Structure 1
Amino acid sequence: MNSLTVAATANLSGFRAKWLDFYGQTSLELHHEKSVYLH
């Protein structure tokens, strides 16, 4: 592995972590809104 590959992999995993965090928060909020509307 050269340094460019390592940097790209680290960048990708950081991006994935951010995306998963955003996705998790969004789905939690949507779920919360749905339960608010249902009750």
Structure 2
Amino acid sequence: MLKKNDIGPQAYRDAMSHFAGHVHVVTTDGPAGRRGAT
């Protein structure tokens, strides 16, 4: 099981900006239900 690691929106955007040529898939399965984004 992966360890939960909260990061802020700006830190996430900064990290993802280093991989601009790729498709990112982000998913979660928490109390609010399953969610995903590309």
For the criterion TM > 0.5, the same-fold answer is no
More strand by share: 2
TM-score, normalised on structure 2?
Answer: 0.30
TM-score, normalised on structure 1?
Answer: 0.29
More helix by share: 1
**Greater Rg by CA:** 1
